Structure 1
Amino acid sequence: MTIARIDFTELAGISTLEKLENEFQYQMDLSDGCYFFWHHTDFLEHAIYPAKNAKAQAILQFLAHCACPISLLRLACSLSPRNFDHGPITSDEFTVHYMLYCFEVVSNCIHDPKIRDIINIYRKTTEFRSACELLITYQSDIISSNICPTVLNMITESLSSTESRVH
């Protein structure tokens, strides 16, 4: 799937973008340039989970472009018109793109002993499992995509763990 790149991070505003960049640099310094995670539900008093406005989506897009798996997933969910808590910017194609990118990042992080435990804890959250369920609604859209088998297995595992808890 070829997807156009649309950058709406400028909707966050110059001051917020500068603070986002500072946070990114700070975390890169802490992790020797390896990891960036933003698990908070707000940034500078802007609610970003759920992202109900364009500024929140712009903040999430900035964080997602830093390869933060949590922000990737939250942005994807906020872009989905199939999600009750979507923001004003919606796109099924971008939803699938950001979700698959998130699952790719997560599947790579699982093998890193420094962050494996954090990632596995996040994978057990309702937020992560709900995103997996949302992605399944796009099954016909992603069948034609070349999806890494590891990513597909991770999604399937997350969904099966949800089903086993329900029954």
Structure 2
Amino acid sequence: GSGKVKTLEHRPTLHRRTTTTYILKRPSSRQTLSEIVKKFGTFPFSLRQLDDERAGKVGVVECVRGGVVRQYEPAGEADGSPVSRLLTTVAILKNGLSRLAAPPPLDLEKVQSDKKITDEEVLAILERPLAKSTGSKGKKNKKKKKKPAKKAVEEEEDDDEEDSDE
């Protein structure tokens, strides 16, 4: 296809709860939302995973309208060519990037494309590892305890001696 992805006419079936609060009016919506909170939290889910799919379809409509649940629109190409979407969660740390959640590594033997990356700078970035090894993790910074100053200790002893002389 052309490589341009657009939203399709199909009904969305993947949803995710947001942190927005909204007072739902329908009992079916409240029941659906309570089931979503118990089973999935804020993670994505399919309507098929709900106990009663029909009630879920009805209840999720008000949840989406109120912004309590976000729906993932189906995406694809206009001509019906297959499209894949890979999502990755990356944490930015002081030592570099760390991949928290990702799909399995892409097998480039199975993928064929007529497009090639020719920019040397982009190729160099793609060759970098995601996280640098930080070495041994057993090392801890040990703070040295400060010893009392000799002069202060000596002055206190001298003061004690002078007091006893009087």
Structure index of larger Rg: 2
Greater relative contact order structure (CA < 8 Å, 6+ sep): 2
**Is the structural similarity TM-score above 0.5?**
no
The structure that is helix-richer by fraction is: 1
TM-score relative to the length of structure 2? 0.29
Q: Which has the higher strand share?
A: 2
